Amino acid sequence: MARIAYLVSSATEITLADGTKHPTGYFAEEALKPYERFTAAGFEVVVVTPDGKAPTADPYGLNWFFHYPDEDKDYLNSVVRTFAFDPDDIRFTLHQSSELELAASRRLADSLRVKGLSADGAHAAVSKAAKVAWRQDRRLSDVLADPQYASGLTAVEVQEAIAGQQHASEKLAADRKAKLDGLPGFQRPVDLGSLTGDDLASFDAVFAPGGHGPMVDLVDNPDVARLLVALHERTAPIASLCHGPALLLSAPERSDGQWLFDGYRMTCFTDEEEDQTEPGKLGLPWYVDTALKNAGAVFDDGPSAWASHVVVDRHLITGQNPGSTEAVADAVIKALTARSAQAA
């Protein structure tokens, strides 16, 4: 059975560029989904924090707009793909995702189907209005109220669909937080600093979820460096997501004086994405994207912000953002399964 060091930040605050403190922690979705996937695959998942303290979910990451139910998320993605002929021309920001009511597209389409439209017709009608909202930076409800884009839905029906979607997202965020709070490993994690060299060698992989917490306690950490070296020497999977790749900045230099991961292709939460977040707007002291490039990374981000993007280079596996959560977890499972087959 593969054994994964599930390295989670225990930081609760990050110091902003102006010196003020801001709440932080791990990102709930990025912590829960891979954990569930790894345990379902039969792996032993050992939750580890830098100091043995229980990790805290980042309050910002518990906002409803980071927790769309899969059916709403998938439908929204299908709508967004209609915005431009070339996907590279679609710049879909966090503001547009969270503030323009576009996540309610599936529920609005369902309401139109109740009124007699076909599935294709409802999708086309909602996509047309959503494209206007996207381009003109207008709320979808305002666009649907415009006679030019009349959908046949009343203002009450539109607001019910929007409110229903937000309520479902709020419930999903609460459910994920409750699940994480109920995991013994998250309540009583292993202290990374207490692990011996033999303990570190017992792990077959490391995985670090994001949230801004890793920027606080997974960087320039000698115990994180010991873990990275122990796995790197065996070419065991080293995986991280979103801000999680900040742990790579703890890696020491090689004998040639270059960073341990110099020349490796990798990704992380990009500067463009960071500037759209609440902490980014308040002013962070540094950016993971820029720091990795300066360290020697061959940076490989996706064609657009917030889209799923995973990079695998040798035994290094990195995911760009929350939207990459499932894909990066699956890449880890694939890598560990392949190693197990080779060893058999």
Query: Could you read off the pLDDT of 220-273 as tens digits, one per residue?
Result: 999 999 999 999 999 999 999 999 999 999 999 999 999 999 999 999 999 999
Q: What is the pLDDT of residue 96?
A: 97
**pLDDT means per 10 residues in the chain (344 residues)?**
97 98 98 98 98 98 97 97 91 96 98 95 96 97 87 92 98 98 98 98 98 98 98 98 98 97 98 98 98 98 94 98 98 97 84
Distances in whole angstroms, Cα of residue 130 to Cα of each of 77, 85, 105, 308, 341: 12, 15, 8, 21, 47
How many Cβ atoms from other residues are within 10 Å of residue 47's Cβ? 21
Q: What are phi and psi of 319, to 5 degrees?
A: -120, 145
- The ranges assigned to domains in the chain are 3-55+189-343, 67-177
Predicted pLDDT of residue 150 = 66
* Fold of the 3-55+189-343 domain: Rossmann fold (3.40.50)
Residue with tokens 């002291």: 285
Residue 42: phi and psi, rounded to 5, are 90, 10
Structure confidence at residue 17 (pLDDT): 98
Neighbours of 342 (CB within 10 A): 7
pLDDT of the residue at 144: 94
- Report the C-alpha gap between 119 and 108 in whole angstroms: 11
Kindly report whether the global pTM for this prediction surpasses the value 0.85: yes
- Dihedral Cα 124, 126, 129, 131, nearest 10 deg: -70
Cα–Cα distances in angstroms (integers) from residue 119 to residues 83, 113, 124, 131, 165, in the given order: 18, 6, 9, 18, 19
